[in-house]
Copies of this chain bind each other. A is one copy, B any other.
Amino acid sequence: MPHKITFFPNRKTVTAPDNQTVLKAAGGAGIHINATCGGKGNCGKCRVVIKEGAVKHKETGLLSEKDMAEGVRLACMSIPASDLTVEIPLGSQMRRGGKIATGSKLGELQKMVAKTCEGEPRPLTRKVFLKLPHPNLDDNISDVERLKRELDRRGYPIDNIHINLAIIRKIGRVMREKDWMVTATLLPVGNVVEIMDVQPGDTTKPRYGAAVDVGTTSLVVYVVDMFTGKVVDMESTYNPQVRCGEDIISRIVYATEMGGLDELQKLVIEAVNGLIEKIAARKGLDPEAVDTLVISGNTTMVHLFYGIDPSHIREEPYIPTATFLPLMRTHALGLRINDFGVIYAMPSVASYVGGDITSGILASRIYKKHELSLFIDIGTNGEIVVGNSDWMVTAACSAGPAFEGGGVKYGMRAMDGAIEKVAIDPATFEAKSAVIGNVQPIGICGSGMIDAVAEMFLTGVIDQRGKINLDCGTPRVRSGEDGPEYVLAWAAETGTGKDITLTEPDIDNIVRTKGAIYAGFATLLKEVGFGFADVEKVYIAGGFGNYLDVERAITIGLLPDLPVERFEFLGNTSIMGAYMALMSKNLRKDVEDIARRMTYMELSVSRSFMDEYVSALFLPHTNSDAFPTVERMRKVL
């Protein structure tokens, strides 16, 4: 029997079909509950409090007796047995509209794009206004031929003009609606011109496009004026697919083994529709005037966006179905912009180096520079590119989601309530922290983790192996249920009413993550015969990058020990690349070249990578000679 569930603090009531979990029911109502494991009962993050009513709850061992007594249940393991009132505690809420990094260098970017376009944006489609001669008995060719003839006069050879049935079906009405004046939208593909739309009257202006960053974690949309290149407005939200699994692998499993491909596609498409509609409403523009979309995302995200089975991405030899997607009509994917709009996807290189990375290379411009550059995008995965204008190699290291909150007890994304900076007094071991949004902390984000681990290491709270020294003589260090832990914030100071700690298993995860990324750098460089000293520039991308303290990242051995001025933060290069490709034909050509030119190395089977990885599982590294700056700091302290 279906039951009603009322969620607090959202104050939304939803009717859940038979046997649907509370987690799914919430998702269906647009209420997002944290669920790192995708709802399998492993992560224990989707804790909710059943205030009224009863649930069938599957035992997982993740809740204490006290929890159970207080009505706490895991939303993913609870099926309503009656109507319910459910409270979602702060720690389980995945708030939309939290601050997400959306790219910081927009001004510079626009100048660069303008230069590349030579002042004239070249979107995917062209709009041409045509005054057609009226037909009469002596000039009685068909409507379609009349249009083609006029286009031929404008320099599009008649034999290479294609038109499809949807347009043919409406063209008779459209041509007669405004006295034989029409606007044709044309898509040049090779030497062929496809008529994408024919509208009555002059609709050449205004025109808008949308650049979309489809991240595993978050979605960012820019709506752009196609004549000026100006970003009209931007919006971002969490990728609602998160509730089906936090990382790429769990999404693939959800899409394939659990038959959720359509659901995942719909979730992301609807979210993008929502963001564009939000901007359109706010700016008073017609979503119909948005007729071009460029998306940038990792290979799996792009597969899911287009509804393509991603299953082979996770099986050796890790083959994606498509790295280059054909241009297609947006309505084929359920996008609610102009009915005859087109979508372009930034091309991928391989299963684990996607369009977000080719976007990043486009935005970083390293493919145009002579200096040896290193590019890294630290997201749920860690993708690395080494190269210059002559060559580029790339690899992905399964860094894991630690820096985005996964596998860390109080880990969370960089949003309000996240501890983003930590300082530990070397004498008292007392912690001070800065919290995003200046509110009471509810968890810790990636940059906070890096700070915390660096500080703990420099102050001797942890050793080179990341093991906590229980003899520090501070109550902040103690034995918890998961082993030794350090208390970053006491219950009284937090937004959850509980201590926020960093446990030894958390630190282990963080060390493994930073180790994988560093090993990726090292392996890739060695493979092409270089060392870190040869690297002239390191570009760091990712939502994460906005808050990264380079010195602290060097301290834990995440980044190589190079002079700080060689590092450059680029912010969200995925959206930047999408924006560039939206505006410029030359840059679309560039990014396709980039995708074809990059050599992909599969690190997961590399012996050398494994060696590097094992060496990097120390703080900052087994070979401390590689981190002289860190050694100096340790001596100072």
- Interface residues of A, Cβ cutoff 8 Å to B: 135-137, 140-145, 159-160, 162-165, 168-169, 171-173, 176, 189-192, 306-309, 311-312, 316-326, 328, 332, 348, 350-351, 600, 602, 605
Contact B319 A165 (CB under 8 A): no
Contact B145 A324 (CB under 8 A): yes
Contact B328 A135 (CB under 8 A): no
Q: How far is the CB of A487 from chain B (nearest CB, A)?
A: 45
Q: State A195–B440 Cα separation when bound (angstroms).
A: 58
Contact A328 B143 (CB under 8 A): no
Q: State A316–B138 Cα separation when bound (angstroms).
A: 11
Report if A143-B322 is in contact (Cβ < 8 Å); known contacts: A309-B169, A316-B137, A317-B135.
yes
Q: State A7–B311 Cα separation when bound (angstroms).
A: 55
Among residues of B, the one whose C-beta sits closest to the C-beta of A311 is B172
Q: Would you give 8 A-B contacts (Cβ < 8 Å), ordered by A?
A: A144-B322, A164-B328, A165-B308, A168-B326, A169-B306, A172-B319, A190-B191, A190-B192
Q: State A169–B309 Cα separation when bound (angstroms).
A: 7
Q: How far is the CB of A520 from chain B (nearest CB, A)?
A: 17
Report if A136-B317 is in contact (Cβ < 8 Å); known contacts: A309-B172, A311-B172.
yes
Q: How far is the CB of A424 from chain B (nearest CB, A)?
A: 44
Contact A143 B312 (CB under 8 A): yes
Contact A323 B162 (CB under 8 A): no
Q: How far is the CB of A605 from chain B (nearest CB, A)?
A: 6
Which residue in B160, B165, B332 is a CB contact (below 8 Å) of A328?
A: B165
Q: State A309–B173 Cα separation when bound (angstroms).
A: 9
Q: How far is the CB of A192 from chain B (nearest CB, A)?
A: 6
Report if A143-B321 is in contact (Cβ < 8 Å); known contacts: A168-B308, A172-B311.
yes
Contact A322 B140 (CB under 8 A): no
Residues on B with beta carbons closer than 8 Å to the beta carbon of A328: 164-165
Residues on B with beta carbons closer than 8 Å to the beta carbon of A332: 165
Q: How far is the CB of A488 from chain B (nearest CB, A)?
A: 42
Residues on B with beta carbons closer than 8 Å to the beta carbon of A311: 172
Contact A323 B145 (CB under 8 A): yes
Residues on B with beta carbons closer than 8 Å to the beta carbon of A169: 306-309
Further 5 A-B residue pairs, CB within 8 A, beyond A144-B324, A168-B306, A190-B191: A136-B317, A140-B319, A169-B308, A172-B312, A172-B321
Residues on B with beta carbons closer than 8 Å to the beta carbon of A350: 140, 142
Contact A142 B602 (CB under 8 A): no
Residues on B with beta carbons closer than 8 Å to the beta carbon of A325: 165, 168
Q: State A487–B317 Cα separation when bound (angstroms).
A: 86
Report if A190-B137 is in contact (Cβ < 8 Å); known contacts: A168-B306, A319-B142.
no
Residues on B with beta carbons closer than 8 Å to the beta carbon of A320: 142-143
Residues on B with beta carbons closer than 8 Å to the beta carbon of A159: 190
Which residue in B176, B191, B318 is a CB contact (below 8 Å) of A191?
A: B191
Residues on B with beta carbons closer than 8 Å to the beta carbon of A176: 312
Q: How far is the CB of A521 from chain B (nearest CB, A)?
A: 21
Contact A319 B168 (CB under 8 A): no
Q: How far is the CB of A194 from chain B (nearest CB, A)?
A: 10
Q: State A444–B606 Cα separation when bound (angstroms).
A: 87
Q: State A324–B176 Cα separation when bound (angstroms).
A: 20
Q: State A191–B192 Cα separation when bound (angstroms).
A: 9
Contact B142 A323 (CB under 8 A): yes
Which residue in B143, B144, B160, B326 is a CB contact (below 8 Å) of A162?
A: B326
Q: State A319–B321 Cα separation when bound (angstroms).
A: 46
Residues on B with beta carbons closer than 8 Å to the beta carbon of A316: 137
Residues on B with beta carbons closer than 8 Å to the beta carbon of A308: 165, 168-169, 172
Residues on B with beta carbons closer than 8 Å to the beta carbon of A602: 137, 140
Which residue in B140, B163, B164, B168 is a CB contact (below 8 Å) of A600?
A: B140
Residues on B with beta carbons closer than 8 Å to the beta carbon of A348: 142
Q: State A172–B255 Cα separation when bound (angstroms).
A: 14
Residues on B with beta carbons closer than 8 Å to the beta carbon of A144: 321-324
Q: State A192–B192 Cα separation when bound (angstroms).
A: 9
Among residues of B, the one whose C-beta sits closest to the C-beta of A176 is B312
Residues on B with beta carbons closer than 8 Å to the beta carbon of A136: 317
Contact A319 B143 (CB under 8 A): yes
Report if A141-B323 is in contact (Cβ < 8 Å); known contacts: A191-B191, A328-B165.
yes
Among residues of B, the one whose C-beta sits closest to the C-beta of A162 is B326
Report if A326-B143 is in contact (Cβ < 8 Å); known contacts: A317-B136, A319-B135.
no
Among residues of B, the one whose C-beta sits closest to the C-beta of A169 is B308
Q: State A316–B172 Cα separation when bound (angstroms).
A: 14
Residues on B with beta carbons closer than 8 Å to the beta carbon of A319: 135, 140-143, 172
Residues on B with beta carbons closer than 8 Å to the beta carbon of A163: 326
Q: How far is the CB of A2 from chain B (nearest CB, A)?
A: 33
Among residues of B, the one whose C-beta sits closest to the C-beta of A167 is B326
Among residues of B, the one whose C-beta sits closest to the C-beta of A306 is B165
Contact A160 B312 (CB under 8 A): no
Residues on B with beta carbons closer than 8 Å to the beta carbon of A312: 143, 172, 176
Report if A317-B137 is in contact (Cβ < 8 Å); known contacts: A165-B328, A322-B143.
yes
Q: State A189–B328 Cα separation when bound (angstroms).
A: 18
Chain B CB count within 10 A is highest, among A160, A165, A316, A332, for: A165
Q: State A306–B165 Cα separation when bound (angstroms).
A: 8
Chain B CB count within 10 A is highest, among A176, A307, A320, for: A320
